[in-house]
């Protein structure tokens, strides 16, 4: 029966994907942990049939924003149910890069708290009726790219994690032993915010713990290469790169197809 069920789920997903979704539904999801309130977004195809593979999306350092919604929509159009989790908390949305930097550092400097918020988002995604709770990827951008690797290090039961231009430092390399998921890191080869020693430590952690991992380095790309709002001046350290954006999205699609 389990095999038949898996085949039916696969058939539903393939049928949904074949439709070539052009429109999606977006709904706000309010959730809590104790007295703390959060507000994420669920984006999914508007004519999907049955439960869909889920994607937990972790925002960049600006919090849940139009950029988050854009990337979530992009993936939902492929036939996935995407939940953009809220790490910072409801109504905590930085207005400047200075504010964003301080907020992001709160979590980068407190990995247990970061992992707690990430796991909370994963639990909320699993509880959505549109989602097949056994078929989930975690995807993150910049700050969120750091986050999904931390989620993997916490031993989260997901099929895989995808980091788009995320921080790749390895503060507790022993935690690599907890990684069950496949790992895909999509990295700008000229990103000044990822130190060579951090990149080397990440690779070593993956090797030491025999993780199923991939690292793509995109030439001439710096930080934030998927974000048009980052501008087009690589000398600033963060800039959009159309080629890296397109190539990394194709890498994501291949990874998702393999993982599901």
Separation between Cα atoms, residue 174 and residue 254, nearest integer Å: 29
Specify if 200 maps to a domain: yes
| pLDDT for position 65 | 96
Specify if 57 maps to a domain: yes
Specify if 10 maps to a domain: no
How many other C-beta atoms lie within 10 A of the C-beta of residue 30? 11
Specify if 3 maps to a domain: no
Specify if 58 maps to a domain: yes
Please tell me the total count of domains within the chain: 1
Specify if 7 maps to a domain: no
| pLDDT for position 193 | 97
Mean pLDDT in each 10-residue stretch from start to end of the chain (260 residues)?
A: 46 45 88 97 92 98 97 97 98 96 97 98 97 97 98 98 96 97 98 97 98 98 97 97 98 97
| pLDDT for position 8 | 43
Sequence-separated (6 or more) residues with CB below 8 Å from residue 249: 74, 226
Specify if 8 maps to a domain: no
| pLDDT for position 15 | 44
Domain that holds residue 249: 23-259
| pLDDT for position 254 | 98
| pLDDT for position 49 | 84
Separation between Cα atoms, residue 241 and residue 243, nearest integer Å: 6
Q: What is the CATH number of the domain that holds 61?
A: 3.40.50.1820
Specify if 104 maps to a domain: yes
Secondary structure of the chain in HEC code, one letter for each residue:
CHHHHHHHHHHHHHHHHHCCCCCEEEEEEEEEECCEEEEEEEEEECCCCCCEEEEEEECCCCCCCHHHHHHHHHHHCCCCEEEEECCCCCCCCCCCHHHHHHHHHHHHCCHHHHHHHHHHHHHHHHCCCCEEEEEEEEEEECHHHHHHHHHHHCCCCCCEEEEECCCCCCCCHHHHHHCCCEEEEEEECCCCCCCHHHHHHHHHHHHHCCCCEEEEEECCCCECCCCHHHCCCHHHCECCCHHHHHHHHHHHHHHHHHHC
Separation between Cα atoms, residue 163 and residue 185, nearest integer Å: 5
């Amino acid at each position: 029966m389990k095999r038949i069920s898996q085949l039916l789920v696969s058939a539903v997903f393939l049928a949904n994907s074949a439709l070539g979704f052009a429109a999606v539904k977006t709904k706000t999801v309010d959730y809590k942990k104790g007295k703390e309130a959060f507000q994420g977004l669920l984006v999914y195809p508007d004519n999907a049939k049955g439960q869909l593979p889920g994607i937990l999306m972790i925002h960049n350092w600006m919090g849940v924003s139009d950029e988050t919604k854009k990337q979530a929509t992009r993936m939902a159009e492929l036939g996935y149910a995407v939940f953009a989790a809220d790490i910072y908390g409801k109504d905590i949305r930085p207005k400047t890069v200075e504010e964003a930097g301080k907020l992001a550092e709160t979590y980068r400097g407190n990995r247990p708290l970061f992992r707690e918020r990430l796991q909370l988002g994963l639990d909320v995604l699993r509880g959505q009726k549109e989602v097949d709770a056994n078929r989930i990827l975690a995807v993150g951008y910049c700050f969120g790219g750091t986050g999904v690797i931390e989620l993997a290090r916490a031993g989260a039961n997901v099929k895989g994690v995808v980091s788009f231009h995320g921080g790749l430092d390895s503060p507790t390399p022993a935690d690599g032993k907890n990684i069950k998921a496949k790992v895909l890191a999509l990295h700008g080869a000229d990103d000044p915010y990822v130190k060579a020693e951090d990149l080397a430590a990440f690779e070593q952690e993956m090797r030491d713990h025999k993780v199923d991992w991939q690292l793509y380095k995109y030439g001439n790309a710096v930080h934030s290469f998927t974000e048009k709002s980052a501008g087009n001046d690589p000398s600033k350290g963060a800039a959009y790169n159309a080629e890296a954006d397109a190539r990394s999205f194709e890498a994501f699609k291949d990874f998702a197809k393999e993982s599901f």
